[in-house]
Amino acid sequence: MTSGKIFLAAVLYAAVALGANPVFAEGPDYASLRDVRRGDMRKLAIPDLPEPASQEAFEDADGNAVTLARYRGQTVLVNFWATWCAPCRAEMPSLNALQQDLGGEDFQVVTIATGRNPLPAIRKFFDEVGLSDLPVLRDPKRALSRDMGVLGLPASIILNKDGAEVARMTGDADWHSGDALMFLRAVIALEKAGG
């Protein structure tokens, strides 16, 4: 077993142990995730307690109003980006690959273009780069991003299955790196252990 696999096994074991421990009956100990951050993931800020996410509406590709409540029951990586933001554009392929690998019943990547991002420009970028597994979502008036305190782009916020923020990063990252996958798998395991 490689040292990375041993480390991941220890993290997953700790997550299960913490979730099963009656001392932590009120929920998972997300602060323990600070010890799992490696590489780009060291930039993640992890609050002591989960903070409820905004329920401001944003738009799907058809212009319908949706909220983050749509993703309750899943661990979610919400990524705020813009077509004009070079670091945002650079990290999108890794987010697409992350969704391909981890996306499903327990986890989703939710990319939201915030501010002035015309739908044709978003679709053109998705087609050029081959982003086939990410949703086309918009926050044209920045209501959601403003309510969630997004001050710079890209911004990525990890929500637990109850829709509360457990981690945040401002700036780009390789979301398909071994470090990112290890961190996100630890979050998912902590969620499952916590009930």
Domain that holds residue 67: 3-193
Question: Cβ distance 29 to 187 under 8 Å?
Answer: no
pLDDT of residue 97: 98
Number of structural domains in the chain: 1
| Calpha distance 143→137 (Å, rounded) | 13
pTM of the model: 0.87
Weakest mean pLDDT among 2-6, 40-44, 108-112:
2-6
With a CB cutoff of 8 Å and minimum separation 6, the contacts of 117 are 82, 83, 84, 138, 140
More confident residue, 195 or 167: 167
Q: How far is CA 164 from CA 73, 157, 193, in A?
A: 11, 10, 17
Which helix (H) or strand (E) is 80 found in, with range?
strand 75-81
Q: What percent of the chain has pLDDT over 90?
A: 84
Reading the block at residue 91, the tokens are: 């990290």
Q: Summarize pLDDT for 62-82 with one digit per residue, the tens.
A: 999 999 999 999 999 999 999
- Using the predicted structure, report yes or no on whether residue 123 has a pLDDT greater than 50: yes
CATH number of 110's domain = 3.40.30.10
Q: What per-residue confidence (pLDDT) applies to 26?
A: 64
141: nearest Cα among 117, 124, 120, 122: 117
80 bridge partner residues = 112, 155
Q: Look at residue 12 and tell me whether its pLDDT is greater than 60.
A: no
Lowest mean pLDDT among 3-17, 51-65, 130-144: 3-17
